[in-house]
Amino acid sequence: MSLFSSKKRKRQFGQTLVEIIIAISVVGLVMTAVVAVVTVSVRNVSRAKAKALGTKYTQEGIEYFRAQKNLMGWETFWETIQAGGSSSTYCLAELPYTPNGGLESVPNRACLSTEFVDNTTVYQREAEVTIGPVNGEDTVTVTVVTTWPDGGQTAQSMATVQFQQSQN
């Protein structure tokens, strides 16, 4: 065997410094991409959970007004809502129930900065209530809005329902 072929064989068994640097760079780029994808996924999951909870609180508010109409009966429900004027805001931080309703215990005002739906002091829920005739019938329109902070902005969930005397 010649000296040249012996050197060639030794070179095949080892790696050069350049190859190692390139391999480490490729691994670093792949790891950076993986971390970025995981970070975005975690943020999206967190936002989806917050939105689902906000939607739940909004639906609870709508169902509260539906239950109040059923518990109180239309006339008492209408009179209670009418006492707030043709358009009013209710703070729905709590949803009190009594045998005859409970709507009269709900604050007829916007929520204060210290009134929250949840124990983590994140979600606030209000209802905008308007009354008036629609197609000749007395109608109560309730729009429940739940808000929460989301990445420096305010996110919200909103739902609207209309009640009329002819509905049971």
Please work out, in degrees rounded to the nearest 5, the angle formed at the alpha carbon of residue 147 by the alpha carbons of 38 and 63: 110
Query: Which residues are CB-contacts of 41 (< 8 A; sequence separation ≥ 6)?
Result: none
The pLDDT tens digits for 48-74 are: 999 999 999 999 999 999 999 999 999
Q: What is the pLDDT of residue 1?
A: 52
**pLDDT grade, residue 116 (50/70/90)?**
very high
pTM: 0.78
Burial degree of 157 (CB within 10 A; 0-12, 13-18, 19+): buried
More confident residue, 119 or 111: 111
pLDDT in tens, 80-108: 999 888 899 999 999 999 888 899 999 99
Mean pLDDT throughout 2-13?
Answer: 54
